[in-house]
Chain A
Amino acid sequence: MGIWHLDMSAELVGTGSPVMDLVAHADDNLVLAQILGAWISNAPELEEDIALGNIALDHLGVARALYTRAGEIEGKGRTEDDYAMRRTEREFLNLLLVEQPNGDFAHTMVRSLFFDAYQVELWDGLSRTDDETVTGIAGRAAKEAGYHLRHSSAWVVRLGDGTEESHHRSQDAVDGLWRYTGELFEGPGRVSRDQWLGTIQNVLDAGGLRVAEDPFQRSGGRKGFHSEHLGPLLAEMQWMQRSYPGLRW
C-alpha cells in the first residue's frame, strides 16, 4: 500500500500540481542516486567509484530537500521518508530514463549525459520560481548539475573517441537510451529540447558519435507508468521500511 492510494484514486497520480511536480523531480534524483550507488566498488577505477558515489550523494541530497518541501506544501505531515519509502511503483513519477539499468559503463555515462544536460536547464528555470525554498535548492543543484555534466561529457567523448569496442558500446548506449529522452521535455519544468539537443550534439560530435536515427519514443513515467526496472529497484530500496514499517535509525 502506498501513501497516495489512501486518499487518491490511481488515475489522479501524476504531475500537474506543485506537490506532485516537486515529488517528480525528487523521484528522478532518488532513483538515479540509488541506481548509481550500485557502481560503488564496481567502477572501472577508484576515482570513478568516488566520483559516482559523490554524484549519487548530490542527487540524494536534492531528492531529500525536495521531498521535505513537497511535504510542507502538501501539509499532511508527510516526511521525506514517507515519499521515498512508502510509495508504490505506480506512485513514483520519475522519468523512464533514470530507471534504465546501469548496463556497461558507457550506458551509465550516456544516461547521465542525457539527464545532466536536462537538469542543468531544469534547475536554471526552477531557480527563478516564486517558492524561495525551491529557488535555493535549485540554485545549489544547478551548480552541481553543471559539474556532473562536465564529468559525463568528458567520459562520453573519451569512450566514443576511444577504442573500437568503447565506441561501439557508446553508440549502442545512445541508440538504446534515445527513446527515453522525449519525456524530458513533457514537463514539469520548462526545458528546451533545442538547447538540450545542442549540448548533446556537441558532446556526441566530439566523441565521433551520432544521434540515434530511430524516432520511436517512450513515456509515461510522469504518470506513474514505468518500465520493468523500477519495481525491483524499489523493492530493494524500500525493503527495510516495508519489513519493519516506521523503523528509525
Chain B
Amino acid sequence: MDAAQLPGVEVVSRAPALDVDLAREVAGGVVDPEIPVLTVADLGILRDVSWEEGRVKVTITPTYSGCPAMRQIEEDLESALVAAGFAEVQVVTVHHPAWSSGWITAEGREKLADFGIAPPLPDGEVLCPRCRASEPQLVSRFGSTACKALMVCSSCGEPFDHFKEY
C-alpha cells in the first residue's frame, strides 16, 4: 500500500518533525526577556538551527559573559519549539566567535530606537532615541542591564538607555 494512503497520515504529516525552516522561524521569533522588542534573531545570537539525530539543535552565542537572560532564553527556545510540535530540542551554547554588538541586525537597531533604547551604531555614534540629537551626556557606564549604559540627551533632556557597542 502507498504510504500516503495509510490511516492517520494527516496526523503524521502534520507533525513538523523534519521541518527545519519552521524550527528556524519559531526559534528566531523568541524574544529577549529583558528587551522584549528584540528577537534572538535580531540580536544575532541565534547562530544555527539544524536537525540532528532526531532532534532540533539550536546553537546560540551569549552576548555579555554575565548576561543573566541567557538561561531564560535557552528555556524559552526549548518551550517555543516544543509548543510548535518539535518533541526533542537541544540548545547548545557556542562561544566562538565571540558575539559583538555589530551582529544586531538593521531591523533590530530600528526596533531598539523605537523602544527608546539608543542602538549601538557602527561608527560609535549615540543618537537620542527621542529627538535623534547626537553627543548625549553619559550619566553612568552601567545601566539597568549589563548591556546598557545610561545617557541623557544634551538637546531635549531625555534620559535614555544606550545599548553599548561591544
A and B associate in one complex: yes
Q: Which of A's residues lie within 8 Å of B, judged by CB? A: 47, 50-51, 53-62, 65, 127, 132-133, 135-137, 139-141, 143-144, 147, 150-151
Which residues of B lie under 8 Å from residue A147 when comparing CB positions?
141, 164, 166
- A140 and B142: CB pair below 8 A? no
Q: How far is the CB of A68 from chain B (nearest CB, A)?
A: 9
Q: Give A57 to B147 CA distance when docked, in angstroms.
A: 11
Q: Mark B144-166 against chain A: 1 for CB-CB distance below 8 A, else 0.
A: 11100010000000000000101
Contact between B66 and A60 (Cβ–Cβ < 8 Å)? Answer: yes
Chain A residues lying within 8 Å of B94, measured Cβ to Cβ, are 133, 136
Residue from B95, B97, B141 in contact with A150 in the complex, judged by beta carbons closer than 8 Å:
B141
Contact of B140 among A47, A53, A127, A132 (CB under 8 A): A47
Q: State the interface size on chain B (CB cutoff 8 A).
A: 24
B142 to A50, Cβ gap below 8 A?
yes
Known contacts A54-B66, A57-B68, A65-B65; decide if A151 and B146 are in contact (CB<8 Å): no
Contacts of A144 in B (CB 8 A): 64-65, 166
B95 touches A136 (CB 8 A): yes
B14 touches A (CB below 8 Å):
no
In the assembled complex, B86 has its CB within 8 A of some CB on chain A: no
14 pairs from A and B in contact (CB 8 Å cutoff): A47-B140, A54-B145, A55-B142, A60-B66, A65-B95, A132-B96, A135-B95, A135-B96, A135-B98, A136-B97, A137-B65, A139-B97, A143-B166, A147-B141
Contact residue among A51, A54, A61, A151 (Cβ-Cβ distance under 8 Å from B62): A61
Q: Knowing A133-B95, A143-B166, say if A58 contacts B64 (CB, 8 Å).
A: yes
Q: A58-B65, A144-B166 are in contact. List 14 more A-B contacts (CB 8 A).
A: A51-B142, A53-B142, A57-B64, A61-B67, A65-B62, A135-B98, A136-B95, A137-B65, A137-B98, A139-B96, A144-B65, A147-B166, A151-B141, A151-B142
**From DSSP, what is the main secondary structure of chain A's interface residues?**
helix
Q: How far is the CA of A55 from the CA of B142 in the complex (A)?
A: 9
Query: Which residues of chain A are near B33, meaning CB under 8 Å?
Result: none
Chain B residues closer than 8 Å to A127, beta-carbon distance: 98
User: A58 near B66 (CB under 8 angstroms)?
Assistant: yes
Most buried by A among B68, B142, B143: B142
* B141, closest chain A residue (CB): A151
B65-89 interface with A by 8 A CB criterion: 65-68
A11 to chain B minimum Cβ distance, whole angstroms, is: 33
A27 to chain B: closest CB distance in Å?
A: 15
Residues on B with beta carbons closer than 8 Å to the beta carbon of A133: 94-96
Q: Does B141 lie within 8 Å of A137, measured CB to CB?
A: no
- The answer to whether residues A57 and B95 also contact, given A50-B140, A140-B64 and a CB cut-off of 8 A, is no
Decide yes or no: A140 and B65 within 8 Å by CB, A132-B96, A133-B95, A133-B96 being known contacts: yes
> How far does the alpha carbon of A137 sit from the alpha carbon of B95 in the complex, in Å?
6
| Residue ID in chain B nearest A58 by CB atoms | B66
A141 contacts which chain B residues (CB < 8 A)?
A: 65
Measured between beta carbons, the chain A residues less than 8 angstroms from B66 are 54, 56-62
Q: Which residues of A contact B68 (CB under 8 A)?
A: 57
B146 engages A54 (CB within 8 Å): yes
Cβ of A25 to closest chain B Cβ, rounded Å: 12
> Which B residues, 22 to 58, have Cβ-Cβ distances below 8 Å to chain A?
none
A129 CB to nearest B CB, Å: 11
* Bound Cα distance from A133 to B97, whole angstroms: 8
Contact A136/B98 with A47-B142, A51-B140 known, Cβ cut-off 8 Å: yes
Report whether B99 and A140 are in contact in the complex, using a CB–CB cutoff of 8 Å: yes
The reply to whether B146 and A57 form a contact with Cβ atoms under 8 Å apart is: yes
